[in-house]
Structure 1
């Protein structure tokens, strides 16, 4: 155990229950910023990239390489950034697996995504632990695999079978000579690889790398953190190579106060999805039904993130709101708050899913203000103003209002300010500690700042300039907004997106100081 782990091991105790298995509770009262645990990964490997025919991660260092012109590992033929990549001989990276992958030496340039399946590398690296690190292998096999839910015929089993198990066995393992097999894979079977796939699906965490590739990694203690849709911790990864053994080390920190003996939680779903979408995702990927306080509350902590408007009974309109009668029941009816009309769950699901496709379509196209406003207007007929589909559209709109020539009027800036404040209210309620929505929160506060400063600079409707007394309240609010925008990113500086956003906001802050100096305003 490292020194850091020894110092922080007093933060938590491991408890066990029939329902949750192993889980963590606070060993003492914990405050925001307290470290719960730090841990090195047991094993990690790259995932396939979004367009694997065009780019693949180097198997030694995970930098994206262009597949048609990239170099190949001299021994096994897999794409690499260069023949001198230090990871090619490193046992934690490509060093050991290369002995298995090299039994298929021929290289191809067609159908490369089928030929080089990067998603099969983590299962392979896991299985190789039985020889390279027997202690880690023993611990890996203690992890939950949920094989009782992954039976032949289920999507999870069939996908793993086609893309990992058959791929590894037919292309590599069956071609190994007896000596190599007994040296590296003394225990190997289809069942074992399936079990490892189950362990990975249930327990692995994703790590986004600065260059654009993604890794999957397994952590022995972190994996027992219990899920909650209002998590009280945030985790970050070490990307720097200062100490190569600390590469991808995870640090789990408390983000809101946790009382002694209370559960320590993380989140395995998306904080801005509605309850049904989150619960379905957790059932499909983690095999459990979430019953956390947010999932149990039809209003989702008063945010109404999934709420619909009442359709009325066909004779007269109704101003009521439709909410699930029992959000923990997948077949629940949705009841109106004002009238007797009820709608069944499958109808609601169909509507929400159709709307989701429309929203995703417009956002994927980088929708213009007009497109976003038209869709927002249309969906607002059916959805509560706080609905998560409308949140997505508004979050995009606020980044266009006040930044495009036709959208700079006083009226638009008022609209932008209100939208920012509404979305900040939802975000703060769902994620008070910035565990999951720090980037969203930072963007919202930065956009609020920019709307307030534009308002301060604008001339009045009669053409006169604003007085210092008129400007000062806007400037005071703008200052607190921009400071919050920077503070929200304090744990995101290892991530490229967090660093980029931080530098943009820092530039805004310099402009802000300049504006205050010019106007001789001290805040």
Structure 2
């Protein structure tokens, strides 16, 4: 891998980490670390593939019962004229393989058209489509030593991808087609592609709801940290078609020369045990970063529970004695009561299911408040389940009928400030939680602005000085919301939120101008 003198990183290696990136010089926030085009990308299955699937040419969601089909292979497409159908980056080459089974169906779509099998197929096709990319792909870690028969990862890949591709398509190819496109092909090779994807692929969310997985040569070398010092974004519109889904990695928090350059492969708002288990299951390593090693998770207490003493619970909090030990006990900070890790896991898992169920049902304020009240008996106020409930509540307070009183606005302001404090500690560089931060600052602004226009319960209006202080903070918070999204404007969710916040800012400035309010 050639590097010039101006390259901000060095490729290093160690026995424990394998290859990793380190800063070649001191790096400051917003410095560019790297930008690169994807080696290969492919669609994920949609949440309800019986109803909606992604077009294999452009990934636009199409309804299965009315959608068109590729004239050659029969897979669902947005239109027979979709430019991606002929493009070798997209459907152009795989179509030759998929057309070995040209029949179309309308029933059992999820099994007949398995979109999650397309990326492993596209990976194997690189051997003839682009041999240089194929060589780079084969250098990627696959963790095949962990993905052996009998493991969930192996058996799942075998049933849903490997046997599907081998039996439904590859076994039906004539010798010439196989030699032309897949000179080397076997179940073992497809399993290896599945391992490379599971270990290295990054997820890209597209504007209309579909998701892709993509592989990148240099980005995949970055190691994981639960306090990542970089942020990455993807280009979703490009004049040069080869720049589509190009990744840009920038510095989020200062990195001193020689220090490791890191990203995050888990969710920043999960507790330590959930993050570490996810990383073990998907990336085959046990994270030992600063956040995982700290029982308080950088002072946020994101996983902490209240004392659950049998009949005489005190006002202490339970924290893991050794968060890097999967069998650790959870000790109370004020009494002798200890909990088994299995007990804690069971409680947290059940609560997580309840939170998910309530939010899937639309999460009305009363449902969320009931959940918050019940869980607050057992969990630290900053626990990640309560964070999730509060984040939903603040988007309803001040906006739904019956939830606009001064008391509710005060509650919303308090919640916003608490969640902003947690978010800033967990993600000081806005690397992973920029959308969460933007929503929090936007909702805080809205609550402050609404409060400036209300009267007390006794009918007394606030003084001009009190109103001005609220409006000053409202101005600061709306600017913070906009700043949080500065690196997210190429992506659909960030762009939509940015437009909403810009309108809020414009309305606020018009109001201040009309009232002759200056700061």
Output the TM-score relative to the length of structure 2: 0.98
Matches within 5 A, 1:444-483: 444-483=440-479
Specify the SS of the correspondent of 1:207: strand
Matched, 1:145 2:133: no
Matches within 5 A, 1:94-243: 94-243=91-240
- Could you give the per-residue CA deviations for residues 371-420 of structure 1, whole angstroms, max 9, x where no partner exists? 11111010100000000000011111111111122112221111111110
Q: Distance in 2 between matches of 1:104 and 1:77?
A: 8
Q: Is the 8 A contact 1:54 1:68 kept in 2?
A: yes
Q: Distance in 1 between matches of 2:89 and 2:400?
A: 49
Q: Distance in 2 between matches of 1:219 and 1:126?
A: 12
Q: Where does residue 407 of structure 1 map in the other structure?
A: 403
Q: Distance in 1 between matches of 2:4 and 2:446?
A: 43
Q: Is the 8 A contact 1:97 1:125 kept in 2?
A: yes
Q: Distance in 2 between matches of 1:247 and 1:454?
A: 42
Specify the SS of the correspondent of 1:191: helix
Matched, 1:40 2:76: no
Structure 1 position 317, deviation (Å) = 3.0
Specify the SS of the correspondent of 1:198: helix
Q: Distance in 2 between matches of 1:501 and 1:195?
A: 39
Q: Distance in 2 between matches of 1:460 and 1:147?
A: 66
Q: Is the 8 A contact 2:296 2:319 kept in 1?
A: yes
Q: Distance in 1 between matches of 2:428 and 2:176?
A: 56
Matches within 5 A, 1:121-520: 121-314=118-311, 316-520=312-516
Q: Is the 8 A contact 1:150 1:157 kept in 2?
A: yes
Q: Is the 8 A contact 2:143 2:199 kept in 1?
A: yes
Q: Where does residue 90 of structure 2 map in the other structure?
A: 93
Q: Distance in 2 between matches of 1:319 and 1:106?
A: 66
Structure 1 position 141, deviation (Å) = 0.8
Residue of 16, 19, 23 corresponding to 2:20: 23
Instruction: Extract unaligned runs of 5+ from structure 2.
Output: none
Q: Is the 8 A contact 2:314 2:335 kept in 1?
A: yes
- Could you give the per-residue CA deviations for residues 54-110 of structure 1, whole angstroms, max 9, x where no partner exists? 111111111111111111111111111111111111111111111111111111111
| Cα 1:142–1:7 shift into 2, 3 Å | closer
Q: Distance in 1 between matches of 2:510 and 2:383?
A: 39
Q: Distance in 1 between matches of 2:479 and 2:15?
A: 45
Specify the SS of the correspondent of 2:204: strand
Q: Is the 8 A contact 1:448 1:478 kept in 2?
A: yes
Q: Is the 8 A contact 1:233 1:264 kept in 2?
A: yes
Q: Distance in 2 between matches of 1:212 and 1:289?
A: 32
| Cα 1:287–1:6 shift into 2, 3 Å | closer
- Could you give the per-residue CA deviations for residues 500-520 of structure 1, whole angstroms, max 9, x where no partner exists? 111111111112112212322
- Could you give the per-residue CA deviations for residues 245-282 of structure 1, whole angstroms, max 9, x where no partner exists? 11110000001111111111000000000000000000
Q: Is the 8 A contact 1:9 1:37 kept in 2?
A: no
Specify the SS of the correspondent of 1:421: helix
- Could you give the per-residue CA deviations for residues 208-252 of structure 1, whole angstroms, max 9, x where no partner exists? 111111111110110011000010111001111311111110000
Q: CA RMSD in A?
A: 1.3
| Cα 1:471–1:7 shift into 2, 3 Å | farther
Specify the SS of the correspondent of 2:7: helix
Output the TM-score relative to the length of structure 1: 0.97
- Could you give the per-residue CA deviations for residues 258-308 of structure 1, whole angstroms, max 9, x where no partner exists? 111111100000000000000000000000000000000000000000000
Structure 1 position 462, deviation (Å) = 3.8
Structure 1 position 6, deviation (Å) = 7.5
Q: Distance in 1 between matches of 2:331 and 2:456?
A: 47
Structure 1 position 7, deviation (Å) = 8.0
Q: Distance in 1 between matches of 2:441 and 2:135?
A: 47
Q: Where does residue 9 of structure 2 map in the other structure?
A: 12
User: 486-495 or 402-411: which moved more?
Assistant: 402-411
Structure 1 position 313, deviation (Å) = 4.1
Q: Distance in 1 between matches of 2:294 and 2:224?
A: 17
Q: Where does residue 49 of structure 1 map in the other structure?
A: 46
Specify the SS of the correspondent of 1:322: strand
Instruction: Extract unaligned runs of 5+ from structure 1.
Output: none
Structure 1 position 8, deviation (Å) = 9.4
Q: Is the 8 A contact 2:73 2:99 kept in 1?
A: yes
Q: Distance in 1 between matches of 2:386 and 2:44?
A: 32
Q: Is the 8 A contact 2:29 2:251 kept in 1?
A: yes
